[in-house]
C-alpha cells in the first residue's frame, strides 16, 4: 500500500477506539490499538520509521475491530498479537490471552466465554454477525457474571449439536440456566428480547442485571435464607464491579503484599524480561521470558517499548500484583492508565531496596535467553528452526482393540498446560498404527479448519517408534498441517525423527523434556481408557454380588477380566467390597 491507499482506507474507518490490523493476504503483519481508528490509521500514510514504512508497503488491506473503551483496545491488541504473532510487533513468546464474551449469530444466539472468537465477529457496535464484548481482565468475574445473566435471562450456552433435534429440555432448563428455545418453551421474539437485555448489560447498563439480583437478595434475607442471600450479595458485588464501579483504589505501599519486579535487557533481535515475584517482602519466584523484537527493526526499539508490550501480554491470564517495580517505565500511556484502573502501583525506583531488586532482575535477564536451556538444547539436537516452546504429546490406549482412546497433552515452556489437554474416543480397531493415524488426523483437521481454539504447537511428540511416527506423519500430510513431529520409543528411549533415530545420553536435559511429555500423554490416555473400559459391560455383570463399583475396583486391581479370572480367592478378597462368598462365586462363574 502507498500513502494514498492508506488514506483512502482510513477514511472509511470510524472515529471510535479499537484495534487495526495491516494484512498481507491472510497474514497479519502488524496489530495496533487506537483511541480513534480513523486518525491513527491515517498516520501510517507517512510512517515515521523505515521498519513501519516497509510494513505498510507489504500490506494490501487493513482490518479493524471497534471496542467500547481504550482499555478494551489495549487488551484486544494483546490477544491478537498472541494469536497471529505478527512479525512487526514486539511480542511475548507464550500463548495466554484475555477472555471475551461472544453472542453468536444463530437464530437463538448462544452466550459463551472465549479467547478465540469467530473470525467474522466484530465488537457490539456497528456490525452484523456475532457480537463480541471485552476483552476482560478477570476470568473468574466474567464467569460469575455470565452465569448470573443466564440465570436471569435464560440465554442458552449449549453447543449446536446439543441444541438441535431435541424433544425435551435439557438439565440447564431444569436448573434455571436456560429458557429452552430448542423445544419451544419460549418464543423467538421473547428470547431475542432477553438477548438484547444481555447486550445492554455488556454495553454498560449494569442495572439490567444488578436490579433483579438486588431484589432477589432482599427477598432471600426477608425469608431468613441467609446463606442464599450471602451468595447473591457476592454475585451482586461482582456484577456492580464489572464495568469499573468498584475496586479502583490504588493500594498504599504498606498494603502491597504481592510485588513483581521486571528487568529488561535487549539482545539483538530478541529481548529478555526477568521477573522476580515477592510475597510479603520475601522473594518466592524467579523466571525469565523471551520477547521477540521485529527482526528488521531499525535498532531503535527501546526497553520501554518492550515493557509496554510485555505487561498486557504477560498478565493476560495471570493475577496482577499490587505493585510493579520496573527497570523502564512503559512508553504507552494506555498501559499506565490500565494498571492504575486495576489498582496496580507502578514505580521505577532510583535507590534503596526496591532499586536493588530491579538490579537483581536485570542481572537475571543478562544470564541468557528467557527459555529453559533444555528447550534450546532440544532445538539444536533436532535441528529445528525455532525453540519448541509449545509441545503436544499423543498416545493411544486400548485393550486388544476395545475401548480405544487417544490423548493429546500440551507442555508450554517445559511445564504442563492441563487446561489445553484433550482426549478422543476412537473407533475400536486393534491396530496401533491406524489408531495413531486417526488421533493425529482428528487433531490436524481441527487445526486446519480453525475448530481448535489452541495455538499451533512448535513440535508434536508421538508415544511410539517408527511405525507410529509414520502413521502420524501420514495423517499430518493428508490434512495439510505442517508441524514437525517426532517419536519417542519406550523400550530403549530412542528418539525417532524423519531424518533418523537418535540415542541421546540418558542424562540429557532435552531428553528429559520429551520423556515428561511422553509419560504424561501415556498417563492421560490410560486414565481415559480405564474410565471408558469401566463403563462398558463385561462378563462380571452376570456375577451375583458384583455391582458397578465393585466391578470398577476389580478391573482397576487386575487390569482385565482375564486378570480377574486368573486371581486366587485370597487375592480377590483383597479388593474392597469382595467377601469370601463373592470371591468364590467369581472363581466358579468366570
Q: What is the pLDDT of residue 445?
A: 93
Q: What is the pLDDT of residue 124?
A: 38
Per-residue pLDDT tens for 545-565?
Answer: 787 778 777 877 776 677 787
Q: What is the pLDDT of residue 245?
A: 39
Say how many residues make up the chain. 590
Q: What is the pLDDT of residue 35?
A: 87
Q: What is the pLDDT of residue 461?
A: 95
Q: What is the C-alpha separation between 163 and 146, in angstroms, rounded?
A: 19
User: If DSSP codes are grouped into helix, strand and coil, which group holds residue 459?
Assistant: strand
Strand pairing partners for 91?
292
Q: What is the pLDDT of residue 537?
A: 46
Per-residue pLDDT tens for 363-394?
Answer: 777 754 444 467 878 888 898 888 888 999 99
Q: What is the pLDDT of residue 457?
A: 92
What is the 8-class DSSP label of residue 88?
Answer: T
Q: What is the pLDDT of residue 508?
A: 81
Domains of the chain: 3-88 (3.40.1440.10), 100-240 (no CATH), 253-366 (3.30.420.10), 376-533 (3.30.420.340), 537-589 (1.10.150.20)
Which parts of the chain sit beneath pLDDT 50?
119-127, 245-254, 296-300, 368-372, 536-537
Element (H, E) at 356: helix 352-366
Q: What is the pLDDT of residue 117?
A: 62
Per-residue pLDDT tens for 149-173?
Answer: 898 888 998 888 888 888 888 888 8
β-sheet with 258-267: strand ranges across? 91-92, 282-292, 270-279, 258-267, 323-326, 345-347
User: If DSSP codes are grouped into helix, strand and coil, which group holds residue 207?
Assistant: helix
Per-residue pLDDT tens for 74-132?
Answer: 878 887 887 777 878 876 655 556 678 888 888 899 998 887 665 444 443 344 567 87
Amino acid at each position: 500500500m502507498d500513502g494514498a491507499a492508506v488514506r483512502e482506507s482510513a477514511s472509511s474507518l470510524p472515529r471510535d477506539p479499537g484495534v487495526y490490523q495491516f494484512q498481507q493476504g491472510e497474514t497479519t503483519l502488524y496489530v495496533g490499538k487506537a483511541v480513534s481508528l480513523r486518525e491513527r490509521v491515517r498516520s501510517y500514510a507517512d510512517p515515521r520509521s523505515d521498519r513501519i514504512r516497509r510494513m505498510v508497503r507489504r500490506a494490501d488491506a487493513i482490518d479493524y475491530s471497534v471496542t467500547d473503551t481504550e482499555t478494551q483496545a489495549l487488551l484486544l491488541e494483546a490477544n491478537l498479537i498472541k494469536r497471529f504473532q505478527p512479525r512487526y510487533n514486539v511480542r511475548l513468546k507464550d500463548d495466554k490471552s484475555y477472555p471475551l464474551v461472544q453472542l453468536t449469530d444463530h437464530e437463538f444466539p448462544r452466550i459463551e466465554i472465549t479467547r478465540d472468537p469467530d473470525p467474522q465477529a466484530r465488537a457490539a457496535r456497528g456490525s452484523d454477525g456475532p457480537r463480541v464484548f471485552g476483552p476482560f481482565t478477570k476470568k473468574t468475574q466474567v464467569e460469575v457474571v455470565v452465569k448470573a445473566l443466564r440465570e436471569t435471562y435464560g440465554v442458552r450456552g449449549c453447543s449446536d449439536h446439543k441444541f438441535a433435534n431435541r424433544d425435551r429440555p435439557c438439565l440447564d432448563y431444569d436448573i434455571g440456566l436456560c429458557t429452552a428455545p430448542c423445544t419451544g418453551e419460549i418464543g423467538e421474539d421473547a428470547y431475542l428480547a432477553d438477548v438484547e437485555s444481555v447486550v445492554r448489560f455488556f454495553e454498560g447498563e449494569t442495572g439490567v442485571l444488578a436490579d433483579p439480583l438486588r431484589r432477589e437478595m432482599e427477598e432471600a434475607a426477608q425469608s431468613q435464607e441467609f446463606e442464599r442471600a450471602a451468595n447473591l450479595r457476592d454475585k451482586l458485588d461482582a456484577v456492580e464491579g464489572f464495568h469499573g464501579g468498584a475496586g479502583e483504589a490504588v493500594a498504599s505501599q504498606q498494603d502491597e503484599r504481592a510485588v513483581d519486579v521486571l528487568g529488561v535487557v535487549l539482545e539483538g533481535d530478541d529481548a529478555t524480561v526477568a521477573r522476580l515475584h515477592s510475597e510479603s517482602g520475601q522473594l518466592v519466584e524467579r523466571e525469565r521470558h523471551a520477547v521477540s523484537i521485529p527482526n528488521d527493526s531499525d535498532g531503535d526499539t527501546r526497553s520501554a517499548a518492550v515493557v509496554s508490550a510485555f505487561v498486557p501480554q504477560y498478565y493476560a491470564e495471570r493475577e496482577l500484583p499490587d505493585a510493579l517495580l520496573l527497570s523502564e517505565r512503559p512508553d504507552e500511556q494506555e498501559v499506565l492508565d490500565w494498571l492504575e484502573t486495576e489498582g496496580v502501583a507502578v514505580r521505577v525506583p532510583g535507590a534503596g531496596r526496591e532499586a536493588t531488586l530491579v538490579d537483581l532482575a536485570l542481572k537475571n535477564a543478562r544470564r541468557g535467553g528467557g527459555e529453559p536451556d533444555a528447550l534450546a538444547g532440544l532445538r539444536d539436537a533436532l535441528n529445528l528452526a525455532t525453540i519448541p516452546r509449545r509441545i503436544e504429546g499423543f498416545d493411544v490406549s486400548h485393550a486388544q482393540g476395545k475401548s480405544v482412546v487417544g490423548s493429546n497433552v500440551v507442555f508450554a515452556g517445559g511445564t504442563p498446560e492441563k487446561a489445553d489437554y484433550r482426549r478422543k474416543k476412537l473407533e475400536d480397531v486393534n491396530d496401533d498404527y491406524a489408531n495413531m493415524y486417526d488421533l493425529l488426523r482428528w487433531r490436524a483437521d481441527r487445526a486446519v479448519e480453525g475448530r481448535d481454539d489452541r495455538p499451533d504447537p512448535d513440535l508434536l511428540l508421538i508415544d511410539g517408534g517408527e511405525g507410529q511416527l509414520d502413521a502420524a506423519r501420514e495423517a499430518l500430510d493428508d490434512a495439510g498441517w505442517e508441524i514437525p513431529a517426532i517419536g519417542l520409543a519406550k523400550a530403549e528411549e530412542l528418539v525417532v525423527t524423519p531424518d533418523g533415530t537418535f540415542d541421546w545420553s540418558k542424562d540429557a536435559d532435552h531428553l528429559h523434556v520429551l520423556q515428561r511429555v511422553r509419560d504424561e500423554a501415556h498417563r492421560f490416555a490410560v486414565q481415559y481408557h480405564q474410565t471408558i473400559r469401566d463403563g462398558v459391560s463385561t462378563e462380571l455383570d452376570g456375577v451375583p454380588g458384583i455391582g458397578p463399583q465393585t466391578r470398577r475396583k476389580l478391573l482397576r486391581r487386575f487390569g482385565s477380566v482375564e486378570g480377574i479370572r486368573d486371581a486366587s480367592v485370597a487375592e480377590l478378597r483383597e479388593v474392597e467390597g469382595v467377601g469370601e462368598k463373592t470371591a468364590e462365586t467369581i472363581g466358579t462363574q468366570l
